[in-house]
């Protein structure tokens, strides 16, 4: 099929809820993809932080295909090797105690919210159920995850939301201190707000929030759906900040391109969700877990250190480009603000016409390249952005 045919089918039959780019992708390898007509693209998006090993990584494809040919799904009524092994690797890598597998970031956050409420209800009784999150945060599109999301534009049309959610301004420790009262069971935080515009929280703030939570037996939930799985150059962004969350949610990169999410529980709450309290039909799907095992094998300390190095290299190169006002973020999760009224959407669309795929986050150009991207590919992408900026200025 041609791009035109595919777009026509989409327009006629697919729910028009996405503002899709005017590009069809047909095949990819590593950080490069082609449309049906053979036009080539360099990828600085990784499917919004998902394809951490790029497209069609040889080992990942082999593991996924082998598992699909062996046993594609069983339900959680049975034990299977890929899920059990993946849970072991995740706990070994993070020091967490137990894992619940889900399918998406929002679903992982729902699991974390349920666990936090039950932890508190079991220990303290009713009335201590509020989940506190930050203004400008993003935690997913289901109703509870949206209630936790601190951006009003996502709330239009969908009221009423589940009760028991509150927000405080990001970075304001006094506001956090005041809000962490006897009604709160958990805080949910992104170390770097991704959809909110690649806005990092300071390490001092994150650590101070963690301390307040510890003192009051309030659970610290790190939403690492976007920052986790090596994105910032550490397996978890919390590792970099020296935070030990009670609960960590992962999705995006963990399956390397297949729908998989994980809720990691620390010792304090690893036994809270007992039999029958929570579940997901597809959770720990063996094919997704087989792909994730390859991701886990690949993300060695040396690999993560190299992600950090490439992130610093990319950030430095971007800061030197004409028209760039600032670059935020860490590792291979970067957001660019432009000076002189230059719009990120214009830069993004001009870059796409020159074969470079980039993302937007609020008013910034957002870059989430595959973690396996080479120095040469990074330089190539920066050169495209340079030529775009020289033309648009």
Write the CB contacts of 352 (distance below 8 Å, at least 6 apart in sequence).
Answer: 21, 23, 41, 358
Question: Between residues 45 and 226, which has the closer beta carbon with respect to ligand PLP?
Answer: 226
- C-alpha dihedral sign at 217, 223, 227, 228: positive
The mark string for 235-254 relative to ligand PLP (x by CB under 6 A, - otherwise) is: ----------------x---
User: Is residue 10 annotated as a catalytic residue, yes or no?
Assistant: no
Question: Between residues 226 and 328, which has the closer beta carbon with respect to ligand PLP?
Answer: 226
DSSP characters for 334-390?
A: EEEEESTT--HHHHHHHHHHTTEE-EEETTEEEE---TT--HHHHHHHHHHHHHHHH
List the helix and strand counts (H, then E) for the chain: 13, 17
Question: Between residues 195 and 239, which has the closer beta carbon with respect to ligand PLP?
Answer: 195
Question: Between residues 87 and 359, which has the closer beta carbon with respect to ligand PLP?
Answer: 359
Measured from the CB of residue 79, what is the shortest distance to ligand PLP in angstroms?
Answer: 26
Q: Pick from 195, 210, 239, 330: which binds ligand PLP (CB under 6 A)? A: 195
Question: Between residues 28 and 255, which has the closer beta carbon with respect to ligand PLP?
Answer: 255
Residues touching ligand PLP, count (CB under 6 A): 14
Rounded distance between C-alpha atoms, residue 261 and residue 229, angstroms? 11
Task: Tell me the sheet residues that pair with 187.
Answer: 132, 220
Write the CB contacts of 109 (distance below 8 Å, at least 6 apart in sequence).
Answer: 139, 140, 144, 145, 148, 188, 221, 223, 225, 249
Q: Residues 119 to 138: which contact ligand PLP by CB under 6 A?
A: 138
User: Is residue 252 annotated as a catalytic residue, yes or no?
Assistant: yes
Q: Pick from 111, 150, 194, 253: which binds ligand PLP (CB under 6 A)? A: 194
Q: Judged by CB under 6 A, does residue 80 bind ligand PLP?
A: no
Query: Tokens for 78?
Result: 């049975």
Q: Judged by CB under 6 A, does residue 105 bind ligand PLP?
A: yes
Q: Judged by CB under 6 A, does residue 232 bind ligand PLP?
A: no
Q: Judged by CB under 6 A, does residue 104 bind ligand PLP?
A: yes
CA distances from 247 to 110, 116, 147, 162, 241 (A): 12, 9, 19, 21, 15
Q: Judged by CB under 6 A, does residue 330 bind ligand PLP?
A: no
Q: Which residues make up the interface to ligand PLP (CB under 6 A)?
A: 104-106, 109, 138-140, 190, 194-195, 223, 225-226, 251
Q: Which residues are catalytic?
A: 138, 223, 252
């Amino acid at each position: 099929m041609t791009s035109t045919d595919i777009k026509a089918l989409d327009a006629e039959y697919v729910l028009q809820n996405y503002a899709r780019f005017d590009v069809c992708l047909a095949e990819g390898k590593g950080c490069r993809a082609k449309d049906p007509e053979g036009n080539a693209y360099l990828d600085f998006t990784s499917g919004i932080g998902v394809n951490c090993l790029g497209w069609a990584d040889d080992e990942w494809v082999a593991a996924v295909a082998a598992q699909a040919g062996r046993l594609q799904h069983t339900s959680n009524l049975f034990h299977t090797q890929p899920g059990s092994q993946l849970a072991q690797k995740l706990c070994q890598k993070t020091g967490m105690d137990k894992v619940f597998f889900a399918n998406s970031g929002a679903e992982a956050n729902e699991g974390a919210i349920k666990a936090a409420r039950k932890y508190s209800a079991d220990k303290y009784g009713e009335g201590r159920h509020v989940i506190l999150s930050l203004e400008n945060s993003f935690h997913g599109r289901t109703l509870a995850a949206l209630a936790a999301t601190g951006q009003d534009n996502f709330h239009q049309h969908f009221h009423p939301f589940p009760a028991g959610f509150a927000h405080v301004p990001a970075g304001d420790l006094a506001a956090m201190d005041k809000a962490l009262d006897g009604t709160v069971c958990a805080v949910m935080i992104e170390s770097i707000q991704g959809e909110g515009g690649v806005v990092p929280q300071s390490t001092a703030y994150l650590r101070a929030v963690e301390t307040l939570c510890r003192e009051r037996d309030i659970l610290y939930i790190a939403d690492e759906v976007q920052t986790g799985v090596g994105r910032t150059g550490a397996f978890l962004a919390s590792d970099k900040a020296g935070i030990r969350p009670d609960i960590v949610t992962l999705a995006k990169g963990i399956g390397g391109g297949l729908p998989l999410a994980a809720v990691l529980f620390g010792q304090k709450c690893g036994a809270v969700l007992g039999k029958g309290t929570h579940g997901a039909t597809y959770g720990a799907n063996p094919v997704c877990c087989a792909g994730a095992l390859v991701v886990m094998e690949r993300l060695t300390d040396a690999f993560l250190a190299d992600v950090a190095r490439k992130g610093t290299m990319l950030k430095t190169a971007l800061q030197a480009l004409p028209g760039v006002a600032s670059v935020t973020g860490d590792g291979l999760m970067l957001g660019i603000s432009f000076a002189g009224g230059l719009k990120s959407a214009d830069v993004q669309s001009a870059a796409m016409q020159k074969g470079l795929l980039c993302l937007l986050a609020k008013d910034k150009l957002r870059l989430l390249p595959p973690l396996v991207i080479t120095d040469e590919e990074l330089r190539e992408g920066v050169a495209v952005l340079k030529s775009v900026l020289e033309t648009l200025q």
